[in-house]
Amino acid sequence: MAQTQPVQYAPCPNCGNTNVKKINYTWWGGILGPAILTHVKCNNCGTQYNGKTGKSNTVAIILLFVIGLIIGLCLYAGFVYLTGS
Ligand SMILES: [Zn+2]
């Protein structure tokens, strides 16, 4: 039978350490981004990665950031359009 263990994140892709910390807020994703991506930070080497898959979040972060930027620009354009005339 499987042993009951506390919630564990995938080991660090850089050093294999399992002592990681969940990140609650980032500049690129606010509080939503790291929650969606299970973004964690290795306490040993500082590598940040996806605690669910054990892989780098870089591509997902760029995607999230670009999508957020586009939405922000659209909102800004709409704001300018509504207030400009
Ligand atoms: Zn590490």
pLDDT value of residue 4: 62
- CA torsion through residues 54, 59, 60, 65, sign: positive
Stated pTM of the model: 0.74
> What is the model's pLDDT at position 85?
67
CA of 4 to the centre of ligand 1 (A): 25
The average pLDDT across 17-25 equals 96
Mean pLDDT, to the nearest integer, of 9-31? 94
Task: State the pLDDT at residue 84.
Answer: 83
C-alpha 10 – ligand 1 centre gap (Å): 11
- Tally the residues of the chain: 85
Whole-number Å distance, alpha carbon 66 to ligand 1 midpoint, is 27
What φ, ψ does residue 68 adopt, rounded to 5°? Answer: -60, -40
CA distance 36 to 85: 39
What are 41's two structure tokens? 């930070």
Ion ligand 1 nearby residues (CB, 5 A)? 12, 14-15, 17, 42, 44-45, 47
How many Cβ atoms from other residues are within 10 Å of residue 76's Cβ?
A: 10
Determine the distance separating the centroid of ligand 1 and the alpha carbon of 68, expressed in angstroms.
Answer: 29
**Sheet strand arrangement including 39-42:** 20-22, 39-42, 48-50
Q: How confident is the model at residue 29 (pLDDT cuts 50, 70, 90)?
A: confident
Quick check: 34 and 2 in contact, CB under 8 A? no
